[in-house]
């Protein structure tokens, strides 16, 4: 995929080049003319500018510097020091952390962010600070602050930082992205290529883009305002100086801007920021307990829709909010609280914004009859104890933490998990499990042909001595089998 994560209209003049005198006469005839044009009456009308918006918004946009400092063994440090001296401090792969000991190695990331609350909360992209453990924020006036990572949300590619000891900061108000229209003028503010704060201008060129691939919730604002690496986490601003999106990805074959950039809408930003304000370290979203799929042309024709729209209910879990609301397999969900949903991506986005209390109204088509049904909102339940198991015996699982699956575990791991099974919830760096290739969200299906339904099953198996370990896992719906030495 050529998608890359990112690291008031002005006076518009239209020149009509007529084919000849007749065309010119037709274009200028009173009955066919555009609204009357007038000569500017003041210097101010000539000097239309976005400067007032930029002055209002720019102080809220910050640079984000993130570092991952890795402790290394004495032997690795000695080799690292030799390589640093031989190849120079800037060799690929990083080097010694600034001011750090020889046993430390640093990886760095650069991006942008936006101050969204007077308490010092900053929104940025998760991919800017992913795997990082030290973050600094630089304001437009050159002041620098250490920042704490208070929330990571890989599903939206958003993260919230908190500036330590904030003083005299300017938060940007969060706008309403649902009121954006194609053609609206927007400004992109960020730190492209690390050159310093930069402002570009363009229009909203599309809405509800879903084939971007930088997050689980595909519902992006597309803009032709120039966005480049380093703009990641920066602000997409309307002409009132409000945050309407966080710039997150570009469509590019060269790594530079080709005039197609994507921003996460303000509605999702608000949900993530509210979770951080509430003291949460993760965003809790409502659980429906149903699988939905796209409505094809054939399906639309069979249920009497004039075009493919909505989502088809394919299956439901027992005792889920979907079942309790009376949804049935084959229903077509057309809207949520009156807002149309055209596809599974739009449905997932709209439903995720509804919170975990109260009810929401689904507009559905059942057979040929349209109706509205209330659906109770609530978090995914923990239907059985996790019974977390940390494997320490010398097996392919050593260094992995495993838990019993449930809807709640699936939400936290951002994975579609079976109702009964064992999932990998964490893997230590450099462990046997890490070297074996286990990943967070993997589901252990069987070991040496023996099915694994709970962590107790796996605990018993890892106490045994096998010459070889044949392990089958389910990763994203695909079952993979590998053999490891005993």
As a whole number of angstroms, the distance between CA 37 and CA 265 comes to 36
10 among the known binding-site residues?
no
Tell me whether residue 231 is annotated as binding: yes
**344-352 vs 266-277: helix crossing angle, rounded to 10:** 30
Catalytic option among 80, 117, 153, 157: 157
- Annotated catalytic, 60? no
Q: Is 335 annotated as a binding residue?
A: no
* Structure-derived torsion over alpha carbons of residues 319, 321, 326, 329, reported in degrees to the nearest 10: -80
Query: 114 with 122: CB under 8 angstroms?
Result: yes
Catalytic residue among 232, 320, 335, 425: 232
For residues 169 and 193, is the Cβ–Cβ distance under 8 A? no
32: tokens are 């066919």
The structure tokens 């002041």 sit at 143
Q: Please indicate whether residue 119 is annotated as part of the active site.
A: no
**Catalytic status, residue 178:** no
Rounded CA-CA distance 2/250 in Å is 8
Instruction: Confirm or deny that 230 is annotated as ligand binding.
Output: yes
107 Cβ contact partners less than 8 Å away, ≥ 6 residues apart: 67, 68, 70, 94, 131, 132
335: left (phi over 0), alpha (psi -120 to 50) or beta: beta
d(CA 398, CA 410): 22
Quick one: three-class SS letters along 376-436?
ECCECCCCCCCCCEECCCCCCCCCEEEEECCHHHHHHHCCCCCCCCEEEEEECCCCHHHHH
Give one DSSP letter per residue of 160-203, joined into a string. Answer: EEEESS--S--PPPB--GGG--TT-EEEEEE-GGGS--EEEEEE
Question: Does residue 232 have a known ligand-binding role?
Answer: yes
CA dihedral (91, 92, 97, 102) positive or negative: negative
Q: In whole angstroms, what is the distance from residue 331 CA to residue 407 CA?
A: 22
241, containing H or E segment:
none
Q: Which two tokens stand for residue 150?
A: 């208070």
**CB burial of residue 184 (10 Å; 0-12, 13-18, 19+):** middle
Sign of CA dihedral 339, 340, 346, 351: positive
Catalytic hit among 109, 117, 127, 442 = 127
Binding-site residues from annotation: 127, 157, 230-232
Binding-site residues from annotation for substrate: 127, 157, 230-232
Active site residues: 127, 157, 232
């Amino acid at each position: 995929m050529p998608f890359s994560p990112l690291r008031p209209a002005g006076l518009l003049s239209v020149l009509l080049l007529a084919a000849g005198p007749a065309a010119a006469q037709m274009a200028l005839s009173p009955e066919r003319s555009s609204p009357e044009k007038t000569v500017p009456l003041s210097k101010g009308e000539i000097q239309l500018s976005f400067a007032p918006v930029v002055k209002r918004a720019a102080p809220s946009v910050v640079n984000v510097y993130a570092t991952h400092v890795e402790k290394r063994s004495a032997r690795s440090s000695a080799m690292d020091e030799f390589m640093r001296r031989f190849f120079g401090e800037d060799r690929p792969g990083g080097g010694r952390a600034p001011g750090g000991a020889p046993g430390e190695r640093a990886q760095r990331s650069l991006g942008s962010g936006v101050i969204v609350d007077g308490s010092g909360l900053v929104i940025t992209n998760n991919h800017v600070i992913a795997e990082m453990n030290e973050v600094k924020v630089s304001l437009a006036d050159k002041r620098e602050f250490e920042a704490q990572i208070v929330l990571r949300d890989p599903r939206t590619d958003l993260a919230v930082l908190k500036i330590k000891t904030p003083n005299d900061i300017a938060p940007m108000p969060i706008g309403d992205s649902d009121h954006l229209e194609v053609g609206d003028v927007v400004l992109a503010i960020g730190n492209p290529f690390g050159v310093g704060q930069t402002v570009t201008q363009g229009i909203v060129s599309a809405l509800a883009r879903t084939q971007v691939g930088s997050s689980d919730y595909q519902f992006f604002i597309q803009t032709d305002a120039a966005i480049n690496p380093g703009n990641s986490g920066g602000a997409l601003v309307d002409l009132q100086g409000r945050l309407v999106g966080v710039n997150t990805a570009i469509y590019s074959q060269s790594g530079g801007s080709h005039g197609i950039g994507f921003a996460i809408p303000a509605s999702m930003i608000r949900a993530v920021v509210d979770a951080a304000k509430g003291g949460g370290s993760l965003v809790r979203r409502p659980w429906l307990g149903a699988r939905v799929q796209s409505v094809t042309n054939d399906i639309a024709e069979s249920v009497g829709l004039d075009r493919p729209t909505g989502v088809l209910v394919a299956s439901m879990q027992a005792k889920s909010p979907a079942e309790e609301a009376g949804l049935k397999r084959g229903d077509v969900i057309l809207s949520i609280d009156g807002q149309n949903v055209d596809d599974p991506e739009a449905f997932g986005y709209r439903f995720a914004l509804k919170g975990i209390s109260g009810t929401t109204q689904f507009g559905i088509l059942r057979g040929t009859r349209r109706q509205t049904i209330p659906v109770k909102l609530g978090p995914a339940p923990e239907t059985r104890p996790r019974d977390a198991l940390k494997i320490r015996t010398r097996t392919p699982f050593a260094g992995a933490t495993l838990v019993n699956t449930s809807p709640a575990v699936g939400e936290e791991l951002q994975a579609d998990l079976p109702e009964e099974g064992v999932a990998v919830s964490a893997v230590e760096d450099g462990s046997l499990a890490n070297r074996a290739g286990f990943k967070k969200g993997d589901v252990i299906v069987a070991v040496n042909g023996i099915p694994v339904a709970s962590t107790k099953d796996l605990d018993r198996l890892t106490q045994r001595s096998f010459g070889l370990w044949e392990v089958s896992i389910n990763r994203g719906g695909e079952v993979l089998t590998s053999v490891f030495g005993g």
